Structure formats: structure tokens, C-alpha cells
Amino acid sequence: MDVYISGVGMTKFGRSKDPLQKMMAEAASSALRNAQLERVDAIYMGVMSVEEFVGDSNFATLLADTLGLTGVPSTRVETASSTGAGAFEAAFYAVASGHMRHVLVLAGEKMTHLPTAKTTRILSEVIDRSERRYGATMPALAAMIAQKYAQQFNLSSLKLEDILAQVAIKNHSNGYFNPYAQFRKTITKDDYLKSQMVSYPLRLYDCAPITDGASAIVLTSEPAPIKVSGIGHATDTAAVRHRASFTSFNSTKEAAQKAYTMAQLNPSDIQFAEVHDAFTLFEIIGTEDLGFFPTGEGWKALEENMTQLRGSLPINPSGGLKARGHPVGASGLAQLVEIVYQLRGDAGEERQLERAEVGLAQSIGGLGNNNLVTILERADRKRIVKVGTTRDREGWTLDYHPEIKVSKKSSTPPPSEGVGTLETFTTLYATPEGFRSPLSLAYVRTEAGEVVMACNPDYHSPKELKMGEKVYFKTREGLYVFEKLTLWSRLKHRIKGPAKST
Amino acid sequence: MDVYISGVGMTKFGRSKDPLQKMMAEAASSALRNAQLERVDAIYMGVMSVEEFVGDSNFATLLADTLGLTGVPSTRVETASSTGAGAFEAAFYAVASGHMRHVLVLAGEKMTHLPTAKTTRILSEVIDRSERRYGATMPALAAMIAQKYAQQFNLSSLKLEDILAQVAIKNHSNGYFNPYAQFRKTITKDDYLKSQMVSYPLRLYDCAPITDGASAIVLTSEPAPIKVSGIGHATDTAAVRHRASFTSFNSTKEAAQKAYTMAQLNPSDIQFAEVHDAFTLFEIIGTEDLGFFPTGEGWKALEENMTQLRGSLPINPSGGLKARGHPVGASGLAQLVEIVYQLRGDAGEERQLERAEVGLAQSIGGLGNNNLVTILERADRKRIVKVGTTRDREGWTLDYHPEIKVSKKSSTPPPSEGVGTLETFTTLYATPEGFRSPLSLAYVRTEAGEVVMACNPDYHSPKELKMGEKVYFKTREGLYVFEKLTLWSRLKHRIKGPAKST
């Protein structure tokens, strides 16, 4: 059964004094009013860490009650930072099954009331447990991915810095026009450069902020102007170190493949997209993973202004997570609310896109390991169906064939000591509760080819380290510690091999 | 699209040294083996308070990875203590929509590793926030419901005690034969009477235990011997005090009505059921709410041995939550695993029921505010369709017309002081972290007819209080405190009215 969107709503994102259920009720009321409905058949409700952020559980029930929808079935859905998109997906199937007619999807998070170090610790719980023990945070992992991306595609650190700054500048510029955005100010490259280093090379302006907010959508089986064309969802190995590629996300690629197939659309059919820019580089990687631009070239499209509001493929017209804000549970659904505003022509004069008949949202859960891709379309859009060969989809061929490098975890545990190369690294300044700052973290590739996380609190600057250089690693109190391989460390640890250090 | 069950599995419930993901992987492997599948299209995964019990989030991803199903979409679902049933429902819609062929539903919880007072505190977070501030726990609320049930249906405290004991004795007797049960021992009335008072009148043997465990089911759109016939889900006002009835659950009744309607079955068609006996009396109330027995007479059916393993309508052949154990996230799905074992004739000689072609499971979330009813059936069962009048279900009529008393919350706040009647009360001995024991808690009905929660730590025995008696209540430090209305308290608080105390 086809599924349509009959109502959307959201709160202004930012710092709010309201309790979470009140914010969510506000978003829900807007969406229900917009859909001209007073009651629904079910509620699917997304919150990521409500127990830890606000200390409540049984939140699905609490919300139904708060909304005055007592009695209505209410289910909480969670897929880490893609939770809003996950709730949308579950609700989509409920309507698509024919068992439900009108379903309210609701997502939110309240985060700003806690100290930043505590929020950082809660957010870090999505990370693989063994990496968390090193003090790894989401920005630290994203920073290591950024370093690797620059190395892999031959970008100097100045070039990388410029690309990241341009993403932040673009998204802040879009957010300036979005009445729901947390930050309604434009920024300059100078502002970017002055912003605090969070985890080298990522600055504060590379990271989506800590935000309160809620968003809501009403799904219906009754024909309405906006249609849900495709949904795809995929996971990946929780730990980045186990992945075959550090600079793209299999979970986006697999989710996109499913969404395009369900929608019978190709990347070239997509007119605009909301891409999960929790970290600036993730927008670039996202546009590559989604098949909009070739691998390693997403930044060129940015440089050529293609992804600007008036470009040929606008990315994050809302301002993205960067400027609209990132209440972790709500963002995945807020992206879809933005797509609906654009498809309806309701985005406001400055932000409204010229071509807005089909839009896509990509949402990332955890460090790229629970991702969803959703495609929405105007129901009145005339489809130009291509001639193709796919058996069960006559007249349509999927043009999207991303390279999916499947990770192969080694079955033997890595050695407790040895020589390896610095696959990538970061110096983390904003450490979580209980960790000294700064903290240098690295992925070290052992001689057998496995990757281990390692730390060294004595390297206080990223300038002390170099991508690809040889290091010595050793377990100490259950953690790997690394140091640069010098003549002295060779002698100390009795390492054989060429006398000359790399 | 019709939905079938192709595989089930579960761990032995009890105290386990394994981490949660290992237990869940064990249950999942059994279910996948049972379904003869290696891969599925999606995972729906239920855990209630994984962040607080084990300190992980992003658990849906972690599990896909642990199961060796990296890449497969994985979504966490939560509906408080009915989570396992909630995950099953979400997965059901995914398959029913036609978008998924094989879906793994997985549910679990790890609880025994924490101190009991901490576990009690975590479990209490499902309770309405304002009631939690009084130190109210799930057993305390259930105890107040038990007192009310006895008063409403004219049962002496000795009679109530005997009924509750008989539920515990029956379920322990069933659990004795269940290899997956936490407690495989029969108990006597004497054992029951000797067990510690948790919250008067509920003893340890009235409460489901703290348990580790996991359960799993594979749903498929390909015809298989067991079919999902009906699912219903409903919520209710979070706080019991706002409900029109304290002795039945609207959320069960509404969920049952939906499940019977979807299945085109009536309560009289159900041959056996798993009923959420988190507290012994809830089994009695459940059998009434589900339409098996008239309101206030569920205990008579128990006395007449109808609900025994060899009775006409066996209830909790598995041993129920009481004896099988209650890992909060897993129970709702474990009930369905038991129904499948029975429908397949795989329950083992002692436990296998004679009539097992259609079974029902009822799962309670929170204090009866997020409930699900699921009906499973042998696909080869010959349906005797009744002649009826329901328009869109020709030849079938729903015989089930439960009385649903909708709660009416007052819009004016209750007075800060006044005289009221003791609607129901309990003396709580097992208090949560940070509360003195014993603690007397009550629902006091004000003269305007509203109900407030009130406490008094100075009544150390339930014998000091009487249902329905007049009390004086007053707010102190933001909480209502109550005391018996004596001549002395009348004078002290200058209460007008008849000089004679009730």
C-alpha cells in the first residue's frame, strides 16, 4: 500500500527551557493540525537516550498521555543518532501493511541542560565499547576519518581545512534563512579558523551542536500531495577500525541502494538532499556515498558551488545538522520535515528551491553504522520512466553501483606488542568525563594488517605525528599505547629491522 | 500480506554470567537455525533499559554485528515491560507490508548483576514522575491495585491471600516442567506464606523475579505452520490514580478488542494463554480483561482449576513471568515463543497442552499503560466461522464488549490540603534507593473526587490503616502526606464537620 505524508511540524531547534514531552507535544500538535487530524491509529516515537538525558523511561506512554492521545498505541524506536529516521521507517511499514491508516511519527531529544562533558559521555556510549575505553568520542573518530580522507585523496591539511570551512559556511548560510534553525547567523572563514579545536583537524564549527528540539510527521494511506517513494536501512560493523574503508560508509551505500530500488529512482533523479552533517566532512562523504558525486570528489562539487542553495544539487537547504542543530533523536525526522517544506513550496522565499519535486534524506546512526536513506516525492510529479532490463521493475534500471568493501574481522586477536603504521590519528581536546586533555588517539595497522586503537596522552599536538609513519605499540593496563618509532624506541624495545627509522 | 512464524528460540532464563549481547545472540542463533535461515532482511530488537542496566547504547547495531549479520537493518523497539511484544508488532508490520520477507525479532534484558535497590530504581522509572517522587515502585502500585480488587469484589484479606498464593503455586508448578524457566521448583502455600512481604499485601512470591534472558522469533511472509492471526496494542494514562478503574486495564481491553477483530476470533475461541503475571493478581485481572471470565470472577476460574495445565483454559503453561522469570525486555517475546512451542506440540510431555491450535499472549508495559495482545494460530486449523452481522467481516461477529471506563483528568489542580477517603493503600517494605523502609503509600480521593498519591513513613504496618477510611492530607515539601482523621487531627488542623471520627 502506498504511503503519503499529510502533516509535518517541528519546534524551533536550540536551547529550550521546556521539558522534552512538552517540546514533542508542540511538534506533534503542529503536525496533527497540519494533517487536520485529531486522532491517529498509532504513534511511533523516537528518542535516543531519554533515560540518561532526562531520567524517564516508558516515554512512549508518557507522550501519548501528554498529547491527549491516551489509549493510542505508542511505540518507541531507537537507532542511535538516526532515531528519527528509524521511527519514520517503522511507521511507514505500519501504514504500508494496510493495518493502520494514520500514524504519527514523533522524534525529539533534550540535551542542553547537562554539562558538556556529561553529554559527550552519553553520546560516546554509541561507540564500540573497546574504543570508548580509550576516551574516543564521536568527534575524535570523525577527525580520524577526516585525516584519512585527506591522505587518501591527496588533500593538504590547508586544503582539507578549506573544504571543511566551506561546508560550515554554506550550511550556516542556509540556516540563516531557516526559522527553525538553532543558529541563524552566517559565518566567515575567519570565524571558522578562530573556532576552538575539538579534535584535530575538526573545530567546533565542524561539529553539529548540542541541541533541544522535536519534529513530527503524520503518515497516511489516503492519497496526499507528498508520497514516500523509497526507504532503505543498513548497519555496519560498530567499530570503524574493523571496516575495509575509513572514508565512506557501507551503511549509507546499502541503505541508498535499497531506497533507490524501492523508489525506482537513480541518484541523478534526486533534486536536493538533506545529508547527515554531524561533522562537516560527513556531508562530503555522504554526497559521494549517495552516488551524487564520484568517490573522493564530493569536495569538488562543493567548490564548484553545485551544493549551494542555488546550485544544481542543493545539499542541506535547511542548514543541516550543523546550523539547524542536532537533537540526536530528532534530526533524522527533521530532515524529512525540511524535504516536505521544500516539496510543498513552503520553505520561504529565501530558502525555497527552484526544483523541488523529489528530495532525499540520509541519516547516520552511531559512527556510520545504522544509516537510513529516505526519498520523498510530490505525488503529482510526472515520472519519466527509463527503459531498462531489471526483471521485476520493467522499464527501470538502477544506475547506482557503489563499491561496497566488506570488512573482514580477523579471528585471531591482535598481538599485544609490535611495530605498525599510523593508519590515522587525532589529538582530542574535548575529552569525555574522566579523561585528561589533550589525548592523542590513533588507529595503528599491525604488520599482519589488522587495525587497533591506541592512545598516547604525551603527544600534546598533532604536529608531533605523521600519517603513515611507523609506530611501536604495546598493551598497558588493557589498552594499546603507541609511540613514534625512533632509534631510541627501537633499542629500548629491542625491535629488529633496518636501523634507520622511517 | 499474511505473516507466519518460521523459527523460535530462547535462552534459559535466570542468572547468567554472559553479557547481554551474547545471550541475545544465543536466542537469535536458535531461532535462525530453527527457521533454517542464515540471513534476514531486518532485525527488530527489544531491550527496555539497556543504557542503565548495561551502559551501552546503539545496541541495535551492536547486536547485528555480534550476530554476524553486519549490514542487516537493525532497529531497537521499546514499550517498557511489553518491549518484546512491541518489537514483535513492529516486525509484523514490516513483513505484512510486503517490503520484507524474513525478519528476526529479538528481545532481552540483563538485570541480575546490579544491586536490587538499583534495579528497583531503574524499573521504577516507568512510573509517572510525580508518583515516583513518593518512592512508589511497581510492586507498591500493584499492591494498591490488589487491595482495591479485594475491596471491590468483597474478598477478605485471607481470601485474597489464598487467591494470590494459588496463582503463584500454579505458575511454579508449570515452571517446574519448563526447561527454560528460572525457577524449576514447586512451592506450597506454606512456602508462599513464609516469603517476605514486599509491599502489603504482595509477598516476594507475588512478584516476578529479577532475571537475565533473551528470546527470538523469525517472522516470514512465506507460508509456515504457525500464523500470526491478530495483534492489538493500546496505551493508558501513565498514572494509575487518573484511571476510572483501578482493578482492570483499559489498555488490555482495547488491545484485545483490536487483536480479536484482526484475527476474527472471540475470547471463547482461545484455547490457552500466556498472561503477564508480573504480579500474581495481574494474571487474574488479565483473564478478566481478555474476556475469558467475567469481571471480578477470574479468581473463581482459578479456584475451579480451569486455568491449570489440564484445565479448560490453561493460563501461563510456561510458568509465566512468575516462574519462567521476567527479563523485562524479553518477556513479551518469550510468551510468544511458549505459544509456538505449544502450537507445534513441542512443549514436552508434561507441559504440552491437549488443545493447542490457537493461543493468545498478553503483555503489560509499565503499570498497565502500554499493553499488547497477540494471537497465534496453527495455519492448518479448520476455522468454524460463526454466522454474524459485522459488515466488513462477513460471517463473523465480535462477542467481546468490555466495559472501558475512560479516565477523566481534572483540569484544576487538587487542593493542597483537605479531608479525603483512603481509596487504597499499601505499606512498602522494599523501597527504592534513597527511601526509608517501611513506607506507607496511599491513593486518597479528595472531596471533589480526584485521586492524589500521598505518603506517611510513620505508619509501619498496614494494620494501622483501613480501606475507605477518612484521612487528612496536606502538601509538605511538594509531596502529599496523609494521616488518619482522628478527633485529635480534627482539632489540630481545625477541620469542621461531624465531631465523631469515622
A439-446/A417-428 β-pairing: antiparallel
Q: Is the bond preceding residue A414 a cis peptide, omega within 30 degrees? A: no
Q: What contacts B447, CB < 8 A, 6 or more positions away? A: B418, B419, B420
Shortest Cα distance from B57 to chain A (angstroms)?
5
Q: What contacts B267, CB < 8 A, 6 or more positions away? A: B256, B260, B290, B291, B292, B399, B400
Give CA–CA dist B116/A460, Å, rounded: 44
Contacts of A69 in chain B (CB under 8 A): 235
A75 touches chain B (CB under 8 A): yes
Indicate the residue of B52, B78, B251 with minimum beta-carbon distance to A78. B78
Indicate the residue of B71, B366, B370 with minimum beta-carbon distance to A234. B71
pLDDT-above-70 percentage for chain B:
97
Q: Is the bond preceding residue B438 a cis peptide, omega within 30 degrees? A: yes
Chain B residues 349-408 with CB within 8 Å of chain A? 365-366, 369-370, 406-407
DSSP H or E stretch at residue B356: none
- Chain-centre distance of CA A213, in angstroms? 17
B261 touches chain A (CB under 8 A): no
pLDDT of residue A410: 74
A61 touches chain B (CB under 8 A): yes
Q: What are phi and psi of B344, to 5 degrees?
A: -80, -10
Residue in the block written with cell 489464598 = B162
Shortest Cα distance from A155 to chain B (angstroms)?
30
Whether residues A65 and B235 touch (CB distance < 8 A) is answered with yes
Q: Quick one: average pLDDT of B169-182?
A: 98
Whether residues B75 and A86 touch (CB distance < 8 A) is answered with yes
Contacts of A52 in chain B (CB under 8 A): 51-52
In chain B, the residue whose alpha carbon lies closest to the alpha carbon of A127 is B58
Residue-wise burial string across A202-224, b where 16 or more C-beta atoms lie within 10 A, e elsewhere: bbebbbbbbbbbbbbbbbbbeeb
Contacts of A230 in chain B (CB under 8 A): none
ipTM for the complex?
0.95
Residue in the block written with cell 493540525 = A33
A498 touches chain B (CB under 8 A): no
In chain A, the residue whose alpha carbon lies closest to the alpha carbon of B127 is A58
Chain A residues 103-142 with CB within 8 Å of chain B? 122, 125-129
Give CA–CA dist A292/A308, Å, rounded: 14
**Tens-digit pLDDT profile for residues B347-373:** 999 999 999 999 999 999 999 999 999
Shortest Cα distance from A502 to chain B (angstroms)?
37
∠ CA B91-B96-B99, nearest 5°, is 85
According to DSSP, the residues that pair with B474 across neighbouring strands are B417, B481
In chain B, the residue whose alpha carbon lies closest to the alpha carbon of A75 is B79
Q: Quick one: average pLDDT of B395-411?
A: 84
* Dihedral over Cα of B141, B143, B144, B150: its sign: positive
Whether residues B366 and A93 touch (CB distance < 8 A) is answered with no
Q: What are phi and psi of A378, to 5 degrees?
A: -70, 130
Question: How far apart, in Å, do the first and last CA atoms of chain A sit?
Answer: 62
Concatenated DSSP letters for B132-175? Answer: HTTT--HHHHHHHHHHHHHHHTT--HHHHHHHHHHHHHHHHHHH
- Asked whether B467 and B443 are in contact (CB, 8 A), the reply is no
Judged by DSSP in three states, A466 sits in coil
What is the rounded average pLDDT for all residues in chain B? 94
Helical spans, DSSP H, in A125-265: 129-132, 138-152, 157-175, 189-194, 250-263
- Asked whether A63 and A50 are in contact (CB, 8 A), the reply is no
pLDDT of residue B391: 46
Shortest Cα distance from A84 to chain B (angstroms)?
11
Taking only Cα atoms into account, the Rg of chain B, rounded to an integer number of angstroms, comes to: 23
- Residue A343 Cα distances to A264, A273, A312, A405, angstroms: 18, 11, 16, 35
Whether residues B58 and A126 touch (CB distance < 8 A) is answered with yes
Whether residues A90 and B86 touch (CB distance < 8 A) is answered with no
Concatenated DSSP letters for A351-418? Answer: T--S--SEEEEEE--TTTTEEEEEEEEETTPPP-PPP---TTSTT---------------SSPPPSEE
Whether residues B64 and A129 touch (CB distance < 8 A) is answered with no
User: Is residue B502 predicted with pLDDT exceeding 50?
Assistant: no
Give CA–CA dist A404/A236, Å, rounded: 11
Give CA–CA dist B77/A44, Å, rounded: 10
Whether residues B235 and A70 touch (CB distance < 8 A) is answered with yes
Taking only Cα atoms into account, the Rg of chain A, rounded to an integer number of angstroms, comes to: 23
Chain B residues 432-451 with CB within 8 Å of chain A? none
pLDDT of residue A108: 98
Whether residues A125 and B89 touch (CB distance < 8 A) is answered with no
Q: Which of B431, B488, B459, B418 is nearest to B133 (CA)?
A: B431
Chain A residues 26-45 with CB within 8 Å of chain B? 42
Q: What contacts A410, CB < 8 A, 6 or more positions away? A: A448, A449, A450
* Residue ranges for chain A with pLDDT beneath 70: 384-394, 497-502
pLDDT of residue B384: 63
Whether residues B100 and A90 touch (CB distance < 8 A) is answered with no
∠ CA B239-B240-B246, nearest 5°, is 165
A89 touches chain B (CB under 8 A): yes
Q: Does pTM top 0.90 for this prediction? A: yes
Contacts of B250 in chain A (CB under 8 A): 71
Give CA–CA dist B249/A360, Å, rounded: 43
Indicate the residue of B42, B94, B370 with minimum beta-carbon distance to A58. B370
What grid cell was written down for B228? Answer: 500470526
Percent of residues in chain B assigned helix, strand, coil, to nearest 5:
35, 25, 45
Concatenated DSSP letters for B230-274? Answer: EEEEEE--SSGGG-S-SSS-HHHHHHHHHHHHHHT--GGG--EEE
DSSP H or E stretch at residue B104: strand B102-109
Determine the residue among A72, A93, A125, A236 to mutate to test chain B binding: the one whose Cβ has the most chain B Cβ atoms within 10 Å. A93
Whether residues B237 and A77 touch (CB distance < 8 A) is answered with no
Indicate the residue of B70, B78, B236 with minimum beta-carbon distance to A71. B236
Q: Which of B157, B129, B125, B123 is nearest to B143 (CA)?
A: B157
- Chain-centre distance of CA B467, in angstroms? 25
In chain B, the residue whose alpha carbon lies closest to the alpha carbon of A405 is B71
Shortest Cα distance from B489 to chain A (angstroms)?
37
pLDDT band at B499 (very low <50, low <70, confident <90, very high): very low
Q: What are phi and psi of B123, to 5 degrees?
A: -65, -30
Shortest Cα distance from B186 to chain A (angstroms)?
34
Contacts of A62 in chain B (CB under 8 A): 128, 238
Q: Quick one: average pLDDT of B98-125?
A: 94
What grid cell was written down for A489? Answer: 624506541
**Tens-digit pLDDT profile for residues B246-287:** 999 999 999 999 999 999 999 999 999 999 999 999 999 999
Determine the residue among B2, B63, B75, B124 to mutate to test chain A binding: the one whose Cβ has the most chain A Cβ atoms within 10 Å. B75
Chain B residues 172-231 with CB within 8 Å of chain A? none
- Chain-centre distance of CA B193, in angstroms? 23
